[in-house]
């Protein structure tokens, strides 16, 4: 029987689309178009170039390591690499050493992805998602402070006392629209509302339910962050919305079967992510590293972990809980024996 060999370009495009859990080459093209548009308007192309390098290197590394071919073809070994490739040029100044850093970081993200799969996913059924990107990104950005050939250009480290609290005003309607789309664009580290709209279009092309979940996540994040009086300058950049966007999609559509109860559960997870975002931003700031998608990763892990055991412990299982029918079937089986 002939063995089907996947195409590197297609695998890489699907890898780009898998940042939002989509397996669609057209969606991947639109995501790169969104990055290119942001680069065109800013005049800085390093992020787009880094993303392209990252997804290709991560995919090639997976092939070299003989990782599962179906997973490679689905883009599951590329999406962390594309994020590493986009993130490092965002926070580190362009230099010859940076591109070496991007290649190594993208390759390492594939190894970390495989490690997460062999541990977190295999043992507890929790998807690694962008966890490998967060871990790799943190180590690479923090490590850059140690090397003279790398200049970290992100926000300077600051203490919790540097945060200013006060009453925040409600943005104008046009600003609210911009925030809505920037929340989506910032998943790819793009503070551009047009780029966010292009990304949302790409998601809708791949999956209408996913597009609705992403839009809902952005709206919830915007309402909660503004309502709670978060720093409007940060909110306006979309920096309070990108992790909640991913949480709404992951919990509401991807990893749990959508139902009215799951939608309420996803809403709770999304709101929680906004608060976790604020907490982690303060916690990582003294180290001079960004939170990346860590607020989403942490919240998603906690909300997905009990998906098969959403029952009080050590009390007896509660039948008919909101995910699946495993406990119900077990209870009926016990009664009939």
pLDDT of residue 223: 97
CB proximity list for 27: less than 8 A, separation 6 or greater: 16, 17, 20, 202, 203, 205, 206
Span 159-187, average pLDDT: 82
pLDDT > 60? residue 156: yes
Give the single-character DSSP code of 317: P
Q: For residue 121, what is the enclosing H or E element? A: none
Span 214-243, average pLDDT: 95
pLDDT > 60? residue 279: yes
In tens, the pLDDT along 24-80 reads 999 999 999 999 999 999 999 999 999 999 999 999 999 999 999 999 999 999 999
pLDDT of residue 306: 84
Neighbours of 260 (CB within 10 A): 8
pLDDT of residue 165: 61
Nearest to 77 by CA among 107, 50, 32, 118: 107
The overall average pLDDT reported for the chain is 89
Span 136-160, average pLDDT: 87
Q: Is there a cis peptide before residue 314, judged by omega within 30 degrees of 0?
A: yes
pLDDT of residue 57: 98
Q: What percent of the chain has pLDDT over 90?
A: 79
Span 290-304, average pLDDT: 96
Span 290-315, average pLDDT: 80
Per DSSP, the residues of 89-105 read: HHHB---HHHHHHHHHH
Predicted confidence band of residue 5 (pLDDT cuts 50, 70, 90): low
> What are the structure tokens assigned to 288, written together?
């001079």
pLDDT of residue 170: 83
pLDDT of residue 123: 86
pLDDT of residue 313: 43
Neighbours of 164 (CB within 10 A): 6
pLDDT of residue 324: 43
Return the higher-pLDDT residue of 114 and 162: 114
Nearest to 188 by CA among 9, 25, 1, 17: 17
């Amino acid at each position: 029987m002939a063995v089907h060999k996947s195409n590197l370009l297609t695998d890489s495009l699907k890898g780009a689309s898998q940042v939002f859990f989509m397996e669609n080459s057209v969606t991947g093209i639109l995501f790169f178009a969104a990055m290119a548009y942001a680069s065109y308007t800013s005049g800085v192309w390093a992020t787009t170039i880094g993303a392209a390098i990252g997804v290709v290197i991560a995919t090639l590394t997976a092939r070299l390591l003989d990782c599962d071919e179906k997973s490679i073809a689905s883009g599951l070994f590329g999406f962390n690499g594309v994020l590493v490739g986009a993130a490092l040029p965002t926070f580190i100044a362009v230099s010859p050493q940076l591109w070496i850093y991007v290649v190594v970081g993208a390759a390492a993200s594939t190894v970390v992805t495989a490690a997460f799969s062999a541990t977190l996913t295999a043992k507890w059924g929790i998807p690694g998602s962008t966890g490998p990107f967060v871990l790799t990104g943190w180590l690479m950005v923090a490590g850059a402070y140690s090397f003279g050939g790398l200049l970290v250009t992100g926000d300077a480290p600051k203490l919790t006392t540097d945060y200013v609290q006060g009453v925040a005003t409600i943005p104008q309607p046009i600003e609210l629209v911009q925030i809505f789309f920037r929340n989506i664009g910032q998943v790819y580290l793009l503070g551009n509302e047009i780029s966010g709209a292009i990304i949302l279009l790409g998601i809708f092309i791949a999956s209408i339910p996913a597009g609705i979940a992403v839009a809902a996540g952005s709206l919830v994040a915007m309402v909660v962050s503004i309502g709670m009086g978060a720093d409007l300058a940060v909110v306006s950049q979309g920096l309070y919305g990108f992790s909640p966007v991913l949480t709404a999609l992951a919990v509401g559509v991807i990893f749990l079967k959508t139902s009215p109860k799951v939608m309420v559960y996803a809403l709770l997870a999304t709101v929680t992510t906004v608060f976790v975002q604020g907490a982690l931003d303060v916690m990582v700031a003294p180290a001079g590293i960004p939170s990346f998608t860590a607020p989403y990763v942490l919240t998603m892990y906690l909300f997905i972990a009990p998906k098969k055991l959403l029952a009080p412990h050590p009390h007896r299982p509660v039948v008919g809980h909101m995910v699946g029918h495993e406990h119900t079937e077990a209870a009926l089986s016990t009664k009939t024996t």
